[in-house]
Amino acid sequence: MKKIGWIIFIFATLLLGSCKEKDTEEEQIIIPNCNLNFTMTMGEYIPVESLLIPTSTVKGNIENFINVCKPKDINPLTLVSSSIRTHQLTFVFDAIYPISTMEILTTIETMSIEVSIDGSSFTRIKDDEEVSDVMDLGGTMAKAIKLIIPKDDTKNRLDDVRFTLDRGMIIQEDDELTKQFLRYNGWTGADGIFTFNLTDGNELIGASKNTVGFIFSDTFVGEVYTHNNLRKTSVMINNSLGYMDTSLPLDEAFSFDYATRNGAPSSPFIPDHYIGLVARNLLDGDGLSMSQSKDALLSNSSEGLGYRSDSNQAELTIDLKSSYDLKEIVIWNDNSNPLMGTKKLDISYSTDNITYTEPIDYDLEPASGEDDEPYTLLVDDIATEARYIKLNLKESYDANHIGLGKIMIFDEDNTFLFGQISGTEPVDTLHSNEITARLWLQDGIVIGEHIYIFPILVKDEADLFKVHNVGLIKAPIEDERMNYQDATYLDTPLQVKTPDGGTLFFGAGVLNNVSQDGYIYIYGYKDLDGRHLIVGRFLPEDIEDMNKWTYFNGESFISDINQVEGLINRVSAELSVTYIPSGMYQGKYMLVVMENTTSGHIAYAISDTPYGPFGSYERVYTTDVSHLRAAFTYNAKMHPALSKPGEYVISYNVNATLVGALSDARIYHPRFIRMIEVKEEE
């Protein structure tokens, strides 16, 4: 009966309206609320939030004109005059939509059409085109659509304008989730956000979970004034943790965690394992012109690139995690202080760390102390199968200290081998720049009862900072919490200077694809004439045995990390690649980035495999932090642990170019958007 009553009402109003002259200013008909249920289905009319006509004089009621409940020829608009050379009408939506068509009833004969995904920057998609009843907009993404109409004294009437929803993604700002990270006491902001399913590690979109774990990098702890969002007190630590209880309402679900040392807030994960003249320096590429080549040249810097002991003797043991037929060991002596270098050493080998071969003695010349130092000793006659290599540093050029610069190991196929190294305690001296060393947390993976995180070691350098290596943290998960107190710090070969002058950084994103092909994929980027996506992979049981990892060279996965090929350019330093289990991209992989790291443009690209090829970027959102002093945005990524089928949660970080601007707590916390699939027509 309600529907019949509505039809009678419309008929009556149309009958009354027909008695009036169309070319005179009409009494506006009030349209009752029809309780439109917008289901985000392909072909539906998209509700218009507002219509802006700032430069024209208009006859008619704009609010009535855009009322989605009105019949198409009720409450027209007439464009009377304009202060500029055209009439410009901007239709604004409540989100970013893929637009299929514009349906229009008008006397206007030609117009230009521009679209915008941020409501301020417009792109022209139709130029001075003849108007038809249905104009194809081709699925273009738009938060706002601008019609640019020539001034005309007679053909200036709009009876109706409607936009239909195309197949694709709707982009909404998730204000409710975002506001959970604008906090006023304790944890009060951070960057570098990654998320994990701490219940069972299942990262498939839609997987059930009790707890979502968060890791962050630089973090503010303190108090914030509620009336103006300014920091009352603050301490910055370099990483922190968070948890979301999925059983609670959103505004009650979050808690945050960080360490306390000497009564003050402190980072849960600390850099101590990675700084100083420690043994682990011997196996990484920091300070070498190339990371995994015996042709590499060693710097003479003393900023913690080599190993040094307080004694004039030392013992070092390298564990390769598996046995290999060894061919070469390449050794650089201490080049930062040649007088503390090793004069004599012996090397022995073992498959079980119990029984070793007879040690073989070697003499080392002192390094020159000049920059770009070639290797000191090449041991190229090993021909031994071994997992463990023991180096006994027997004599130094100094009476009180003994040291080395770098060590490289190659198997019979000339493949670079990496291991974990231990040995005699090093000196406790830190170079000046190591006082500022800290760990920023990249992505990670939950395997069994542990979470593995790939941190980068950062040190200040002049007015900037420099990344020195990529590590690996292994922390137990207990009662769905990350036990950072019992974390183990491991080393990786995942920051590499390549022979072509590029630098590789892995850990920017991790994909658990075990349910699809058995592998975990680790993503990174190569900085060389742009920032290019790169990928490697490993079996879950091999996460700590990195000599079993392989890297995609554009055709297949191989052991040589130096041959890794870029999959797509303009990626960010944090990103995500996610398997899509259902919907329009079912069975495919979605890369989400902020183009060029800090552009403000969030985009995705699709591939049939985790290793590409990826299609062109689909730009879906442009950030706007112009209301915040000196602010910029960076490092967008999807969060499978927060997403559900057909509805994908994406975060981005906000920072400032001026340190003083960070007193505003609105700047330094993540923002979230939702990318929602348009439903298919039944």
- The arithmetic mean of pLDDT across residues 147-159, rounded, is 89
Confidence of residue 15 (pLDDT cuts 50, 70, 90): very low
Nearest CA to 290 out of 35, 500, 585 is that of: 500
- Identify the DSSP state of 600: S
Q: Is 417 a residue whose pLDDT tops 80?
A: yes
pLDDT at res. 71: 86
**Taking the alpha carbons of 44, 45, 46, 47 in that order, is the dihedral positive or negative?**
negative
286 burial class (0-12, 13-18, 19+ CB within 10 angstroms)?
buried
CA angle 344, 350, 356 (to 5 degrees): 65
- Please give the helix or strand (H or E) that residue 147 lies within, else none: strand 134-150
Confidence of residue 545 (pLDDT cuts 50, 70, 90): very high
| Average pLDDT taken over every residue of the chain | 94
Nearest CA to 408 out of 542, 562, 271, 258 is that of: 562
Is residue 259 within 8 A of residue 268, CB to CB? The reply is: yes
> How far, in whole angstroms, is CA 127 from its chain's centroid?
37
pLDDT at res. 603: 98
pLDDT at res. 68: 85
- Give the Cα separation of 677 and 536 in Å (integer): 30
- Give the Cα separation of 244 and 675 in Å (integer): 21
Q: Name the least confident of 144-153, 184-193, 240-249, 415-424.
A: 144-153
Compute CA distances 158 → 22, 77, 408, whole Å: 12, 5, 75
Before 613, cis peptide (omega within 30)? yes
Q: Which two tokens stand for residue 153?
A: 């004294």
Q: Which residues contact 221 (CB under 8 A, 6 or more apart)?
A: 186, 187, 188, 234, 235, 236, 237, 240, 258, 265
What are the tens digits of pLDDT across the range 70-103?
A: 888 788 999 999 999 999 999 999 999 999 999 9
More confident residue, 461 or 520: 520
386 burial class (0-12, 13-18, 19+ CB within 10 angstroms)?
buried
Q: Which two tokens stand for residue 289?
A: 């012109």
What are the tens digits of pLDDT across the range 330-369?
A: 999 999 999 999 999 999 999 999 999 999 999 999 999 9
Q: Which two tokens stand for residue 443?
A: 């992505």
Compute CA distances 516 → 203, 419, 436, 488, whole Å: 12, 29, 42, 29
Strands (E) in 514-661, as ranges, are 519-527, 531-538, 550-552, 557-558, 576-580, 588-594, 601-607, 618-622, 631-638, 647-656
Is residue 244 within 8 A of residue 672, CB to CB? The reply is: no
Single-letter residue type at 237: I
Burial per residue of 254-279, b for 16 or more beta-carbon CB atoms within 10 angstroms, e otherwise:
bebbbbeeeeebbbbbbbebbbbbbb
Helix, strand or coil for residue 135?
A: strand
- Give the Cα separation of 97 and 170 in Å (integer): 5
Is residue 662 within 8 A of residue 668, CB to CB? The reply is: yes
pLDDT at res. 27: 60
Q: Where are the alpha helices (DSSP H) in 37-125?
A: 62-65
- Please give the helix or strand (H or E) that residue 23 lies within, else none: none
Single-letter residue type at 329: I
Is residue 438 within 8 A of residue 489, CB to CB? The reply is: no
More confident residue, 252 or 1: 252
- The arithmetic mean of pLDDT across residues 439-461, rounded, is 97
pTM of the predicted model, to two decimals? 0.93
Q: Is 655 a residue whose pLDDT tops 90?
A: yes
- Identify the DSSP state of 432: G
How many residues belong to the chain?
A: 682
Q: Is 14 a residue whose pLDDT tops 60?
A: no
Confidence of residue 36 (pLDDT cuts 50, 70, 90): confident
Q: What percent of the chain has pLDDT over 70?
A: 96
pLDDT at res. 462: 79
> How far, in whole angstroms, is CA 45 from its chain's centroid?
34
Nearest CA to 455 out of 468, 474, 472 is that of: 472
CA angle 601, 606, 607 (to 5 degrees): 145
Confidence of residue 26 (pLDDT cuts 50, 70, 90): low
Nearest CA to 512 out of 434, 466, 428, 444 is that of: 444
Q: What are phi and psi of 429, to 5 degrees?
A: -80, 135
User: In the block, which residue shows the tokens 């009876």?
Assistant: 159
What are the tens digits of pLDDT across the range 250-305?
A: 999 999 999 999 999 999 999 999 999 999 999 999 999 999 999 999 999 877 68
Single-letter residue type at 340: M
Compute CA distances 464 → 452, 458, 595, whole Å: 28, 10, 22
| β 134-150/123-130 pair status | unpaired
What are the tens digits of pLDDT across the range 571-599?
A: 999 999 999 999 999 999 999 999 999 99
- Give the Cα separation of 596 and 458 in Å (integer): 21
DSSP for 103-122 reads EEEES--EEEEEEESSSSS-
Q: Is 6 a residue whose pLDDT tops 60?
A: no
| β 647-656/671-677 pair status | antiparallel
What are the tens digits of pLDDT across the range 480-536?
A: 999 999 999 999 999 999 999 999 999 999 999 999 999 999 999 999 999 999 999
- The arithmetic mean of pLDDT across residues 191-210, rounded, is 97
Helix, strand or coil for residue 250?
A: helix
CB atoms within 10 A of CB 228: 9
| β 264-266/307-309 pair status | unpaired
**Taking the alpha carbons of 546, 547, 553, 554 in that order, is the dihedral positive or negative?**
negative
Q: Is 11 a residue whose pLDDT tops 60?
A: no
- The arithmetic mean of pLDDT across residues 225-234, rounded, is 97
Nearest CA to 12 out of 65, 74, 67 is that of: 74
Q: Is 2 a residue whose pLDDT tops 60?
A: no
